[in-house]
Amino acid sequence: MLSETQKNVIIWVVGTIFVLATAGLATIWVLFAYWSITLNFDVVFENFFVALIGLPLAAGASTALVVLFSEFVGQIELDILALKFKGASGPIIMWCLSYLTIVVGIAALT
């Protein structure tokens, strides 16, 4: 198991990566909006905003959730109905479920 210092370092690293990724996507969004004034990208950007921004952010959020959960709780083991997921399959299935949940939430809001 990890010490408190190691957990704090992991939290800061994952948080920093998430903030930088979000800032990078925001910068791309601003540049894209600026270029759309002259290059008419606004139609593409408006029609595919969820695919361009929402889905990558959903993947990043799912990854951060699985990484933080596995670091604080330990090895992830899932029991879903009659299926048991242990070892490497636990985080993979948890990532898929969390990603699909976020994507369904995004789709419900659009």
67-88 pLDDT tens trace: 888 878 778 788 888 888 888 7
**Residue linked to tokens 């636990």:** 90
State residue 80 phi and psi, 5-degree precision. -115, 110
Task: Give the distance, in angstroms, between the CA of residue 65 and the centroid of all CA atoms in the same chain.
Answer: 8
DSSP lists the bridge partners of residue 84 as: 79
| Band of pLDDT at residue 41, cut at 50, 70 and 90 | low
Segment 50-70 mean pLDDT: 85
Could you tell me the end-to-end alpha-carbon distance of the chain, in angstroms, rounded to an integer?
Answer: 41
